[in-house]
A and B are shown apart, each in its own frame.
Chain A
């Protein structure tokens, strides 16, 4: 006998999903999407996957819902929020808070999850740091897909930037003190990024942190005009952009030709392959994050 709550979830989820896609009214669609996220968080909790439920409620529903609502607001003519709308937003926020709290309450007490299993086998991964072992070896496909999501996001950013390129950062000179400090700090950032990649095999660090730091340095160079805005016209930019994903594809596919599994590192090669992959990923992540910066947001509409 299926519990009634599961029956309810199983019927409601596809129904709401269909309505999200079929509704003509965008605001209705967004509200339904949030409801869908909350119910699917509940479904994950029912499937004994409280961590997935937590992410679904926080990121899939809370964050994405907020982003969608903010996009909706920038599409319509500005007007003071009606009390009805304020109440609706408060209601949605409260529902998300309740969902998050109930998922946290559902988390099994004292559970270690997969931690011990990872620690026991991290020798085999080629790296001593358990987080790096999970990201680059045991769950390498997750990291690969994340990389592809970032790549897709950068393509989205490029398509928005197309019309707003003229709103780029202005050319006026910066004070010489700031210039000197930038010249001082950018080389240090490059060294730090390299250190983080190398360090990632034994301690917290790795491609995402190193890429973020490199991108920070690149933003300083953009703001001081030491570097031209990244454009896909330049071959170097394209190479950097695809270095990580392409190398990941190769490392994933080559073992298949030798009777291995996808993304299986040859015995003894794990450490070096992971370091190579992380280096390539660092370049790609830094390039993508830098592309997000200069003309990232659409120019504000001028009133007039």
Chain B
């Protein structure tokens, strides 16, 4: 086992841990806003670690570039979609946990 493999495996496991944390947040957090936060933040970071771990072991430079394009697209897409979903939920009157619904007196 070369040092490269060890570093790659460690990064992949670290990435997996962030995904686990994000999923735990999705299941346990109280409202749509904090669940979105858990999903997008933790998973983007986790995917970043997975991407770095994979590109260390990638057979060619072109393959590493592809992996990074995948990561960049996911970051972009999840940023946009979390904004849109949170905005739609807020305007539809979904209350943040422990607060009054938007537009109503507390």
* A binding-site residues for B, Cβ under 8 Å: 167, 169-170, 172, 174-175, 178, 181-182, 185, 188, 216, 219-220, 223-224
Q: Are A170 and B88 in contact (CB under 8 A)?
A: yes
Interchain CB contact (< 8 A) of B91 among A172, A175, A178, A220: A172
Least CB distance from B54 to A in Å reads: 16
When C-beta atoms are compared, the residue in chain A nearest to B101 turns out to be A302
Binds A, one of B4-12, B37-45, B57-65, B74-82: B74-82
When C-beta atoms are compared, the residue in chain A nearest to B81 turns out to be A220
Q: Are A170 and B80 in contact (CB under 8 A)?
A: no
* A181 CA to B83 CA, complexed, in Å: 11
Least CB distance from A218 to B in Å reads: 12
Q: Are A169 and B92 in contact (CB under 8 A)?
A: yes
Q: Are A220 and B84 in contact (CB under 8 A)?
A: yes
Nearest 9 CB-CB pairings of A with B: A170-B91, A223-B84, A172-B91, A169-B88, A181-B80, A178-B83, A170-B92, A223-B88, A178-B80
* Given A174-B87, A223-B85: A182 touches B80 (CB 8 Å cut-off): yes
* B binding-site residues for A, Cβ under 8 Å: 73, 76-77, 79-81, 83-85, 87-88, 91-92
* Given A167-B92, A170-B92: A216 touches B84 (CB 8 Å cut-off): no
Could you say which residues of chain A place their CB within 8 Å of the CB of B79? 181
Could you say which residues of chain A place their CB within 8 Å of the CB of B87? 172, 174, 178, 223
* A64 CA to B79 CA, complexed, in Å: 32
Least CB distance from A223 to B in Å reads: 4
Q: Are B84 and A224 in contact (CB under 8 A)?
A: yes
Q: Are B85 and A181 in contact (CB under 8 A)?
A: no
Could you say which residues of chain A place their CB within 8 Å of the CB of B88? 169-170, 223
* A178 CA to B77 CA, complexed, in Å: 11
* Given A174-B87, A223-B85: A185 touches B92 (CB 8 Å cut-off): no
Could you say which residues of chain A place their CB within 8 Å of the CB of B80? 178, 181-182, 185, 220
Least CB distance from B5 to A in Å reads: 24
Other than the given A182-B84, A185-B73, A220-B81, 17 more pairs (CB < 8 A) read A167-B92, A170-B91, A170-B92, A172-B87, A175-B83, A178-B84, A181-B80, A182-B80, A185-B76, A185-B77, A185-B80, A188-B73, A216-B77, A216-B81, A220-B84, A223-B87, A224-B84
Could you say which residues of chain B place their CB within 8 Å of the CB of A224? 84
Least CB distance from A128 to B in Å reads: 20
Could you say which residues of chain A place their CB within 8 Å of the CB of B73? 185, 188
* A172 CA to B87 CA, complexed, in Å: 9
Could you say which residues of chain A place their CB within 8 Å of the CB of B76? 181, 185
> Which of A167, A178, A216, A219: most chain B CB closer than 10 A?
A178
> Which of B76, B84, B88, B92: most chain A CB closer than 10 A?
B84
Could you say which residues of chain B place their CB within 8 Å of the CB of A178? 80, 83-84, 87
Least CB distance from B77 to A in Å reads: 6
Could you say which residues of chain B place their CB within 8 Å of the CB of A220? 80-81, 84
